[in-house]
Structure 1
Amino acid sequence: MRKIYLVSFLTLLVSASIIAQKVEFEEYDLSNGLHVILHQDNSAPVVTTSVMYHVGAKDEVKGRTGFAHFFEHLLFEGTKNIPKGEFFKIVSANGGNNNANTTQDRTYYYETFPSNNLELGLWLESERMLHPVINQDGVDTQNEVVKEEKRARIDNAPYGKIIYRTGINQHIFAKHPYKNSVIGSMEDLDAAQLNEFLAFHKKFYAPNNAVLVVAGDFEKDSAKKMIQDYFGDIPAGEPVERVSIVEDAVEAKKVVEYDSNIQIPIKLFIFRTPSSKDKDAYVLDMVSSILTSGKSSRMYKKLVEEKKALQVLAFNDSQEDYGTYIMGALPLGETSLDELAAAMENEITKLQTELISEKEYQKLQNQFENNFVNSNSGVENIASTLATNYMLKGNTNLINDELNIYRSITREDIKRVANELLNANNRVEMDYLKAKSE
């Protein structure tokens, strides 16, 4: 009986910790269409100001790839009131840090300051939205920056074409712009004229195509007034017509990609999967944990512990319209890529034919509860999650509700998804090999 009481007490403690992590927020729209999300947390004297624009690599046109990522850099060049090259200096001089990133679906900028500099963060982002200087000098400067980034991260980096999807996406998408990489084509950027950059900016970087998040130590009334003062008069843009392309079924095939920077090849299985809004995307997150999360995971025990693989991987990369699921292994010793393929196929078959054990299922649930709590720690994480959930998933409160989605996933769901999505008819098999010297 004492053991039962102890278990019940521990359960209450876990539940209490999760309830304590609930993220309170308020959201509203300005008259120009800018969506605003406020998360007030006065426990630490820091505040994050962020803006997410609903524009990514998928919004580019044929022959002009790389624009969204290019603008991630270009909009740090300067504004009407911020001299060229001063953006980062202003942030660091005021005790802050800032950055930006781009995906297929969105572009995200943020600053984190001591809380007494909230107004500075709002001014910086309003300047970026209203007064950016887009001229040929800035385009030429950032063109060289982007080229160097491509050389460093993709062209000269081991496995760069996998990490940044330049060697993957075109094999799994035939119609959708997801087939292009986020960094785009340097030839396209070289060929683009200044008026094309100006038109791209006018189309996408407007308040009605953005969400502003303020998270951290501030007072709502004063924050709302500052937001209205800095953003309220920015003109709205024309409504953006969203990408809407339905892909045909995956062409199951075996392909080869080469990389001169590697010494060890990789065997990969690549699957097309549903949107991040789909419950099955959450199921695939759990499948990844079963296969490769930690030393007790199935692929680790079968391949790494048995000295067949140096490393294993399995991860779900879900996006707004579709996702990809990637499984892989690096061979160890005399193990062939075909042997790795057979071993990975065997692990998929087990998921398709056998329910995972109750013990494994409970371990999964505990792991995702812990992940949920950790993901809501820190105002930078919270700001990013709030913006993403609103813009790409259509439900800001997923920051509190996603755990319930994971809790609702059954052992039967895992088996079903393995059958429906991780099957050979939905798969591209890839040998990623070292390029031969000429």
Structure 2
Amino acid sequence: MKKNIFTLAATVAFVLASNAQKVDFEEYDLTNGMHVILHQDNTAPIVTTSVMYHVGAKDEEPNRTGMAHFFEHLLFEGTKNIKKGDWFKIVSSNGGTNNANTTDDRTYYYEVFPSNNLELGLWMESERLMHPVIKQEGVDTQNEVVKEEKRLRVDNQPYSRFLENVKKHMFKKHPYKGTTIGKMKHLDAATLDEFLAFNKKFYIPNNATLVVAGDINIQETKKLIKAYFGPIPKGKNIIRNFPKEDPIEKEFKAKAYDPNIQIPAIVAAYRTPSMKTRDARVLDMISSYLSSGKSSVLYKKLVDKKKMAFQAGAFNLSQEDYGTYILYALPLGANTLDDLIKEIDVEIDKIQNELISEKSFQKLQNKFENDFVNSNSNIEGIANSLARFNVLYGNTNLINTEIDIYRSITRKEIQTVAQKYLNKKQRLVMEYLPESKK
């Protein structure tokens, strides 16, 4: 009976993936270098207008961290034609929603409107690019907003410094050693001229990808884009030459402290290749095998059966230049951090020395098929994927073909990649410990 249920699940996943419609799109460049991607879907009267700028925390000066994330906030302050405080009022009063987010590699802004407000969305994003108002008053306002965000999300949240401490040990040269939110003392010290210079350098059409997706007419949309974005002057080409990291050739250890926790954690971290590589996708599959859901290897072993841990897992943090593969666990009862890392290593050794079972492999394939279908299930998600694949991977059509990479991964390849990157001699082992309030 279990076998029949499993076969049914595999069949359903295959049918879902087979029926997932190809995402048709058209892309081209404006004369000022802005890349444009259009996706027409007239099934619902909504449209997403979005712009992804190829600027993130890694592009900041070492003594001015947090600038990219700060701009995510600052560029909602207003423009030459949008008064301070009016941005969100305009969006909501026209039936729309909007947001923005920043990573180490890019910054993304978007609006979702009823399709009869397409022109409004284009105008607002062109205003953000062409006529931003960057004054000391706005900088001071957003400085307090960012500080409050840091207090809420970092300073007062348990385990919120976990990744920060991993990164600072894994990266000694590359700017991935910092955090996206940055250091407040750097933002406090930044002058208005520095904010203006950052905007002038990175917020330029030739460092941006505009995506319009949804209920649109392609030709009419092109005319509007040309009218609103065509006149924006091209900026200077951005040259990136980040330092390369030296290989990790022996295991090293570290400790980090968090005043907001009572239960410690053990972490094993490995430096891995760029998100653009095939190996990065294989590592995605390995992390899912180890810790995706309650039936995954680490949860089932450490949490469910042996009851050695409150929580255990793995994730592959893939980024544009490098990745970081992280394994972690929080001990339960009298079990120690050393006990947990030994048990985790047993499971890594198994992957390196044995092929995972056919059943586990099929389960992985089903999960990635399902994720693929879900990622393209709405206009907002499609717009994000189109922008991301273009800006970070240089291949917009991965929205349709990346799943083929996952489908082609074999059990032997999972074993080989685990051997290559999850090597005990090439890792950080970090104890993440409670810090005394005293």
- TM-score greater than 0.5 by the shorter chain: yes
Q: How does 1:312-327 map to 2 (within 5 A)?
A: 312-327=312-327
Match of 1:77 in 2: 77
Q: How does 1:91-240 map to 2 (within 5 A)?
A: 91-162=91-162, 165-240=163-238
Match of 1:279 in 2: 278
Asked if structure 2 preserves the Cα contact closer than 8 Å seen for 1:56 and 1:103, the reply is yes
Q: How does 1:348-427 map to 2 (within 5 A)?
A: 348-427=348-427
Q: 1:244 aligns with which of 242, 245, 248?
A: 242
Q: Deviations over 1:14-33 (max 9, x none)?
A: 35753542111000000000
Tell me the distance in 1 between the aligned counterparts of 2:387 and 2:418. 30
Tell me the distance in 2 between the aligned counterparts of 1:175 and 1:166. 15
Q: Deviations over 1:162-210 (max 9, x none)?
A: 2xx3222110001000001111111111111111111111000000000
Tell me the distance in 1 between the aligned counterparts of 2:257 and 2:18. 46
Question: CA offset at residue 261 of structure 1?
Answer: 0.6
Which consecutive residues of structure 1, in runs of 5 or more, have no partner in the other structure? none
Asked if structure 2 preserves the Cα contact closer than 8 Å seen for 1:59 and 1:243, the reply is no
Amino acid paired to 2:193? N
Q: Deviations over 1:68-95 (max 9, x none)?
A: 0110110000000001111111111111
- Is 1:336 aligned with 2:336? yes
* TM norm structure 1: 0.96
* TM norm structure 2: 0.96
Match of 2:291 in 1: 292
Asked if structure 1 preserves the Cα contact closer than 8 Å seen for 2:16 and 2:370, the reply is no
Asked if structure 1 preserves the Cα contact closer than 8 Å seen for 2:54 and 2:391, the reply is yes
CA 267–58 in structure 1, closer or farther in 2 if over 3 Å, else same: same
Tell me the distance in 2 between the aligned counterparts of 1:412 and 1:292. 20
Match of 2:360, SS state, is helix
Tell me the distance in 2 between the aligned counterparts of 1:29 and 1:352. 46
- Is 1:38 aligned with 2:38? yes
Match of 2:262 in 1: 263
Tell me the distance in 1 between the aligned counterparts of 2:31 and 2:427. 46
Question: CA offset at residue 304 of structure 1?
Answer: 0.6
Match of 1:92, SS state, is helix
Tell me the distance in 2 between the aligned counterparts of 1:437 and 1:104. 31
CA RMSD of aligned residues (A): 1.7
Match of 1:167, SS state, is helix
Tell me the distance in 2 between the aligned counterparts of 1:16 and 1:110. 28
Match of 2:435 in 1: 435
Asked if structure 2 preserves the Cα contact closer than 8 Å seen for 1:28 and 1:36, the reply is yes
Tell me the distance in 1 between the aligned counterparts of 2:324 and 2:14. 33
Tell me the distance in 2 between the aligned counterparts of 1:254 and 1:16. 45
Range 427-436 or range 238-247, more displaced: 238-247
Asked if structure 1 preserves the Cα contact closer than 8 Å seen for 2:17 and 2:372, the reply is no
Match of 1:89 in 2: 89
Amino acid paired to 1:423? N
Asked if structure 1 preserves the Cα contact closer than 8 Å seen for 2:20 and 2:373, the reply is no
Asked if structure 1 preserves the Cα contact closer than 8 Å seen for 2:17 and 2:369, the reply is no
Match of 2:50 in 1: 50
Question: CA offset at residue 13 of structure 1?
Answer: 8.8
Amino acid paired to 2:342? A
Tell me the distance in 1 between the aligned counterparts of 2:16 and 2:175. 44
Asked if structure 1 preserves the Cα contact closer than 8 Å seen for 2:17 and 2:370, the reply is no
Match of 1:42, SS state, is coil
| Percent identity of paired positions between Structure 1 and Structure 2 | 63
Tell me the distance in 2 between the aligned counterparts of 1:432 and 1:16. 41
Which consecutive residues of structure 2, in runs of 5 or more, have no partner in the other structure? none
Tell me the distance in 2 between the aligned counterparts of 1:12 and 1:161. 40
Tell me the distance in 1 between the aligned counterparts of 2:44 and 2:241. 40
Match of 2:76, SS state, is coil
Amino acid paired to 2:237? P
Match of 1:315, SS state, is strand
Q: Deviations over 1:98-140 (max 9, x none)?
A: 1100101100000001111111110110000000000111111
Asked if structure 2 preserves the Cα contact closer than 8 Å seen for 1:58 and 1:243, the reply is no
Match of 1:125, SS state, is helix
Match of 1:168, SS state, is helix
Tell me the distance in 2 between the aligned counterparts of 1:437 and 1:116. 55
